Amino acid sequence: AQTVTQSQPEMSVQEAETVTLSCTYDTSENNYYLFWYKQPPSRQMILVIRQEAYKQQNATENRFSVNFQKAAKSFSLKISDSQLGDTAMYFCAFMKHNSGNTPLVFGKGTRLSVIA
């Protein structure tokens, strides 16, 4: 079974600064996807960024980028130029590459507070 670990329950960052959220995972699979989801107080899960394991290049979406280290099974999220609207719970998630059952496996989350 796959597991996802987020070792930072809470983090804070000053507005306009950069912050990195950590995520490690355990799997015996070779093909899989990794995700970072944001959950603001509205509770809706919003996809921030996605990484395919077969791609060596780290994914980037505007101010959000990842550091994907497949051998170390590490998938950290870097938020640059932090904004007040980035305040939310952030969840790291794993999905096997499988044509059948495709559930997401989530970590416990990191609560990020952006301080003005």
Applying CB under 8 A, the site for another protein has a residue count of: 27
45 touches another protein by CB under 8 A: yes
- Give the Cα-Cα-Cα angle 61, 90, 32 (nearest 5 degrees): 65
Q: Which is nearer to another protein, 12 or 18 (CB)?
A: 12
Task: Answer for the pair 88, 37: CB distance below 8 angstroms, yes or no.
Answer: no
Q: How far is the CB of 60 from another protein (least distance, A)?
A: 16
Q: How far is the CB of 82 from another protein (least distance, A)?
A: 22
57 touches another protein by CB under 8 A: no
Q: Which is nearer to another protein, 14 or 98 (CB)?
A: 98
78 touches another protein by CB under 8 A: no
Burial track 39-78 (b if 16+ CB lie within 10 A, e otherwise): eeeeeeeeebbebebeeeeebeeeebbbebeeeebebbbb
28 touches another protein by CB under 8 A: no
Task: Answer for the pair 108, 7: CB distance below 8 angstroms, yes or no.
Answer: no
The pair phi, psi for residue 40, each rounded to 5°, is -75, 175
60 touches another protein by CB under 8 A: no
Instruction: Name 112's bridge partners.
Output: 11, 88
* Interface with another protein (CB under 8 A): 4, 33, 37, 42-47, 50, 91, 93, 95-109
